[in-house]
């Protein structure tokens, strides 16, 4: 039979008796997954479990490397342009990780005393906004208030803290 453009062949299922006789078969079920598939799935589940476990364990540690109860005295600090300046003279700054409050720190900032709560998440460190208290003394000695301003600014901008070789290092972006 020659079918032209205007002619259409009958389509099974549209009113023809053949449509009622076509058997409907369900799709064949997928073959069962082999042991290799399940071994890979088990390894993936194990890795995901370890990742979650260590993230929770790291986030739950309030102080890195057992710093609770330790005291530190500032030896160097940076000023606005990033220059490293030795902390010399009679002006000192201290940082004490409170032993009774695993998320508290306090210290002497040159002229005034301060205290903050802090948070450690994985490898990041931050002072909790609004948790700080600072005494409001004004020290007339030259450079003390500038030193204190630089110290507290660096402390407030710190994003990670590491204790290494009897020194405490605080890092911030930039």
Among 43-47, 62-66, 111-115, which range has the highest average pLDDT? 111-115
For residue 1, is it within any domain?
A: no
For residue 3, is it within any domain?
A: no
Query: Quick one: pLDDT at residue 51?
Result: 72
Query: Quick one: pLDDT at residue 15?
Result: 55
Q: How confident is the model at residue 62 (pLDDT cuts 50, 70, 90)?
A: very low
Q: How confident is the model at residue 29 (pLDDT cuts 50, 70, 90)?
A: confident
For residue 8, is it within any domain?
A: no
Rounded to whole angstroms, the Cα distance separating 22 from 26 reads 13
For residue 69, is it within any domain?
A: yes
Mean pLDDT of 75-86: 75
Rounded to whole angstroms, the Cα distance separating 120 from 103 reads 8
Q: Give me the percent of the chain exceeding a pLDDT of 70.
A: 72
Domain that holds residue 122: 65-171
For residue 52, is it within any domain?
A: no
For residue 51, is it within any domain?
A: no
Going through 51-136 in order, the beta strands assigned E by DSSP cover 71-73, 76-78, 84-86, 94-97, 104-108, 113-121, 124-127, 133-134
The yes-or-no verdict on residue 113 having pLDDT over 90 is yes
Among 25-34, 37-46, 79-88, which range has the highest average pLDDT? 37-46
For residue 12, is it within any domain?
A: no
- Is the model's pTM score more than 0.85? no
Q: Domain tally for the chain?
A: 1
Output the domain CATH number for residue 114.
2.40.128.270
Query: Quick one: pLDDT at residue 127?
Result: 80
């Amino acid at each position: 039979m020659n079918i032209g453009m205007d002619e259409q062949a009958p389509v099974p299922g549209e009113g023809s008796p053949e449509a009622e006789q076509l058997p409907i078969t369900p799709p064949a079920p997928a073959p069962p997954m082999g042991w290799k598939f399940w071994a890979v799935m088990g390894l993936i589940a194990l890795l995901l479990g370890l990742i979650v476990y260590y993230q929770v364990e790291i986030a739950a540690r309030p102080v890195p490397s057992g710093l609770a109860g330790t005291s530190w005295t500032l030896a160097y600090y940076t000023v606005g342009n990033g220059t490293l300046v030795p902390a010399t003279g009679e002006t000192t700054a201290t940082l004490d990780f409170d032993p009774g409050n695993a998320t508290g720190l306090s210290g002497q900032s040159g002229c005034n005393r301060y205290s903050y709560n802090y948070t450690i998440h994985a490898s990041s460190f931050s002072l909790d906004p609004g948790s700080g208290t600072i005494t409001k003394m004004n020290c007339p000695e030259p450079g003390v208030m500038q030193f204190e301003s630089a110290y507290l600014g660096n402390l407030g901008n710190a994003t990670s803290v590491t204790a290494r070789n009897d020194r405490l290092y605080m890092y911030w972006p930039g």
